[in-house]
Amino acid sequence: MKCPACGQEAVAKNACPRCRTDLSLLFYIESLPDRLAEEGNALLDEGRPLEGIEKLQVASALGPADRGLCSRLATELARAGLDEWALLQFQRLEEFGDLAPAERRIARLARRRRFVRAFVGRVLGVFGLFKIPDGGRVAP
């Protein structure tokens, strides 16, 4: 990490060797995505999926894209039924060249989403609460 004050490449974790600028906060911020990912994985392992997903989403937003993080986040989002968010994460997985598993998961989630839309539309249509457009077909 470079010192923001003098541009010297910092060796120590707390201070720049040249100008003695305190760099501990910068190192803390730089390590934040990794720590949040660890906390999120621990929460998921403890059986607290929503809290774990929240931590993993923040870690994913703060840090550079990571294949393992995207994969775990996409899988947990799909398990929690948050299909739209899971699709986004599976599409991010394609950036890593992990095409086959990501495409299979995307297709599975898309089928499930179409089924749920069709089922809910038909149930609501039976009770007269919702009219199904296009002769009963639900768009993907």
C-alpha separations of 121 from 107, 117, 127, 129, 134 in Å: 21, 6, 10, 9, 12
pLDDT for residue 139 is more than 70: no
pTM of the model: 0.62
Which tens digit of pLDDT belongs to each residue from 15-27? 888 888 888 888 8
Nearest to 56 by CA among 26, 79, 23: 79
pLDDT band for position 140 (50/70/90)? very low
Nearest to 29 by CA among 9, 56, 72, 59: 59
Name residue 85's amino acid: W
Name residue 121's amino acid: G
Which tens digit of pLDDT belongs to each residue from 87-125? 788 778 777 776 666 666 766 776 677 666 666 666 566
